[in-house]
């Protein structure tokens, strides 16, 4: 196949995946569907996404986080699109902020297990980057059939209020708008914020609604009198601003942001932003449709960095990892990326692309330490199969070299950002800053796959286990039955490899078109720049 034909085939494949992404996102944007959106409007309320649109600056981007949370989950109760809450980083009166907006079109904004996890992720981003956070509250409270998965544990619903208190003590601004129901334990979230606004006629906040009050103490009272805007702004003093409608409420938040003072910055270096000289859209044709095929990761990097200007570190050493310095939208970055083409060392050793060898792990360790020394944020571009195996690698100390890299990366004090371009398998996911290693943001391209190992390898291993188990019970499978079973195992495993499967569980912050990568990294570094580095870089014991 000619180079042009191969390029066109790759481009067609990725454009199909991007079309699927856009289709899925459009569906997610509808929340609980058109009928529920209309019902929301009839109550005089805007939807979660309409509220965000009015709150943020029109001329600045919005970075959605967790759009596909709970995708394909809770189907036995009708599903929970986007986990019933819209979250992201936007600009309010010129200032970056985290925004959390309950989507009342989805089960009246009730809290599912993934809703709690998504809210905690939003608070984590706010805390790590010292960004102000705005809560647009409109929720019926915990989804009772699943209360045991939402209520009592450390990372459940109660952790949110604990975070409210911790964030307040750290001086992180929290503003809440009660724009619908706010019931029971959920009532603490807006009231533990610095300031609480409430919308007249639609907003209400109480520990127990009128029905529960009646059954508990026999008192007859309606919800508006019990915990409406007039009650809390004029009698209890629980809320601070009484707003006539959603629009005025959101404008008032913008006015508050407009008056806020400046905070100290981390001081990451930013030059005048510039586009890559090479065409970003060529990424579509460079990335192989067949993920087994090699490609040159450097060609991807040159289409992501400003002016396509990238300075490689130890270029001819440890070549299965590319390390180097560049800029993304003006921000200085250190990039660690898996090289996917087959390379040959000076000693004549052939090394497979996408695999981390001892020399590449050694190089990356030193580079990560250098970036921490120079206060340069790190970007990890993952297309990794794992670490090299076999006697040669083991005798050469691959475990200690891999441990060095994990150590240097784990203790990094500069912010880290991870983009999953292709494979993200096994310990390679860990070394290249997977979710467990606190990247400030982690997004997957539409081509990403995350698992312990590839689908083909896993399916064969699982088949061997199954066949051995059945043979131990005296059951012998024919070759045809084994093939049928292999196909079933492969299909199920491949579902779990999907970037949407990972995004549904918030193992990543979302799935993106490769052309959104620069926006994600730029907004992420801008957010991180709000949090001065106070901790000294210390790797502890390095495995020599």
Where is average pLDDT lowest: 178-192, 393-407, 479-493? 479-493
- Across residues 173-193, what is the average pLDDT? 86
DSSP H/E element including 6: helix 3-29
DSSP H/E element including 528: helix 517-528
Query: At the topology level of CATH, where does 31-258 sit?
Result: 2-enoyl-CoA Hydratase; Chain A, domain 1 (3.90.226)
Average pLDDT, the chain: 92
Q: Which of 301, 296, 287, 203 is nearest to 244 (CA)?
A: 203
- Binned at pLDDT 50, 70 and 90, residue 144 comes out as low
Instruction: Name the pairing type of β-strands 174-183 and 133-139.
Output: parallel
Tokens 């860990």 found at: 430
Q: Which of 306, 448, 440, 316 is nearest to 378 (CA)?
A: 440
- Binned at pLDDT 50, 70 and 90, residue 2 comes out as low
Is residue 454 predicted with pLDDT exceeding 70? no
Each domain of the chain, given as residue ranges in start order, spans 31-258, 280-453+498-530
**Are 393 and 358 spatial neighbours (Cβ–Cβ below 8 Å)?**
yes
Where is average pLDDT lowest: 159-168, 265-274, 524-533? 159-168
Q: Which of 362, 383, 286, 370 is nearest to 333 (CA)?
A: 370
- Across residues 86-105, what is the average pLDDT? 97
Task: State the helix-helix crossing angle for 48-55 and 246-258, rounded to 10 degrees.
Answer: 40
Domain 280-453+498-530's class? alpha beta
- Across residues 450-469, what is the average pLDDT? 74
Three-state secondary structure call for residue 501: helix
HEC assignment per residue over 225-291: HHHCHHHHHHHCCCCCEEECCHHHHHHHHHHHHHCCCCCCCCCCCECCCCCCCCCHHHHHHHCCCCC
Is residue 266 predicted with pLDDT exceeding 70? yes
Tokens 């286990």 found at: 465
Q: Which of 507, 505, 513 is nearest to 80 (CA)?
A: 505
Three-state secondary structure call for residue 64: strand
Question: Can you tell me the distance from the alpha carbon of 389 to that of 408, in angstroms, rounded to the nearest whole number?
Answer: 22
Question: Can you tell me the distance from the alpha carbon of 410 to that of 439, in angstroms, rounded to the nearest whole number?
Answer: 10
> What's the pLDDT at 480?
79
How many helices and strands (H and E) does the chain possess? 20, 20
Question: Can you tell me the distance from the alpha carbon of 398 to that of 251, in angstroms, rounded to the nearest whole number?
Answer: 57
- Binned at pLDDT 50, 70 and 90, residue 451 comes out as confident
CA–chain centroid gap for 427, Å, is 20
For residue 499, give both structure tokens: 């970037």
Tokens 């699982």 found at: 462
Decide if 31-258 and 280-453+498-530 have a common fold: yes
CA–CA distance from 373 to each of 389, 406, 408, 440, 536 (Å)? 32, 17, 12, 19, 10
């Amino acid at each position: 196949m000619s180079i042009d034909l191969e390029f066109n085939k790759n481009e067609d494949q990725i454009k199909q995946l991007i079309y699927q992404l856009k289709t899925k996102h459009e569906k997610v944007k509808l929340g609980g569907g058109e009928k529920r959106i209309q019902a929301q409007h009839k109550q005089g309320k805007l939807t979660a996404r309409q509220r965000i649109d009015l709150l943020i600056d029109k001329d600045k981007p919005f970075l959605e986080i967790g759009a596909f949370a709970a995708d394909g989950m809770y189907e036995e109760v009708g599903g929970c699109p986007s986990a019933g809450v819209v979250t992201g980083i936007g600009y309010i009166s010129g200032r970056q902020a985290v925004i959390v907006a309950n989507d009342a079109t989805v089960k009246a904004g009730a809290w599912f297990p993934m809703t709690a996890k998504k809210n905690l992720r939003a608070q984590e981003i706010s805390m790590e980057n010292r960004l102000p956070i705005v809560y647009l509250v409109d929720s019926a409270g915990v989804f009772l059939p699943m209360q045991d998965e939402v209520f009592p544990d450390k990372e459940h619903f109660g952790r949110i209020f604990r975070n409210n208190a911790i964030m307040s003590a750290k001086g992180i601004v929290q503003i809440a708008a009660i724009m619908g129901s706010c019931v029971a334990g959920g009532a603490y979230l807006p009231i533990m914020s610095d300031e609480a606004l409430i919308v007249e006629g639609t907003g209400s906040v109480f520990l127990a609604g009128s029905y529960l009050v009646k059954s508990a103490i026999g008192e007859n009272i309606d919800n508006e009198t019990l915990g409406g805007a007039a009650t809390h702004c004029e009698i209890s003093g629980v809320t601070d601003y009484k707003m006539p409608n959603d629009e005025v409420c959101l404008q008032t938040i913008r006015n508050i942001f407009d008056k806020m003072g400046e905070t100290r910055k981390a001081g990451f270096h930013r030059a005048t932003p510039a586009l890559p000289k090479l065409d970003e859209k060529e990424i579509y044709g460079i990335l192989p449709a067949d993920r087994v095929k090699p490609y040159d990761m450097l060609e991807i990097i040159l289409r992501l960095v400003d002016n396509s200007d990238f300075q490689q570190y130890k270029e001819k050493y440890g070549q299965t990892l590319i390390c180097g310095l560049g800029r993304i939208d003006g921000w200085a970055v250190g990039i660690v990326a898996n090289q996917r083409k087959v390379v040959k060392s000076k000693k004549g050793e052939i090394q497979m692309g996408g695999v981390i060898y001892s020399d590449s792990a050694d190089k990356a360790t030193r580079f990560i330490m250098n970036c921490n020394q120079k206060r340069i944020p790190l970007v990890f571009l993952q297309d990794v199969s794992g670490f090299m195996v076999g006697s040669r690698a083991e005798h050469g100390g691959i475990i200690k070299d891999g441990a060095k890299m994990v150590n240097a990366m784990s203790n990094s004090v500069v912010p880290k950002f991870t983009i999953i371009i292709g494979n993200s398998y096994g310990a390679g996911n860990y070394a290249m800053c997977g979710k467990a290693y606190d990247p400030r943001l982690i997004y997957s391209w539409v081509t990403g796959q995350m698992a312990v190992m590839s689908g083909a390898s896993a399916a064969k291993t699982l088949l061997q286990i199954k066949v051995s188990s059945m043979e131990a019970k005296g059951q012998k499978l024919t070759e045809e039955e084994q093939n049928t079973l292999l196909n079933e195992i492969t299909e199920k495993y491949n579902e779990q490899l999907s970037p949407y499967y990972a995004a549904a569980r918030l193992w990543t912050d979302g799935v993106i078109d490769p052309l959104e990568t620069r926006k994600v990294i730029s907004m992420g570094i801008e957010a991180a720049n709000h949090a001065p580095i106070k901790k000294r870089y210390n790797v502890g014991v390095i495995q020599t």
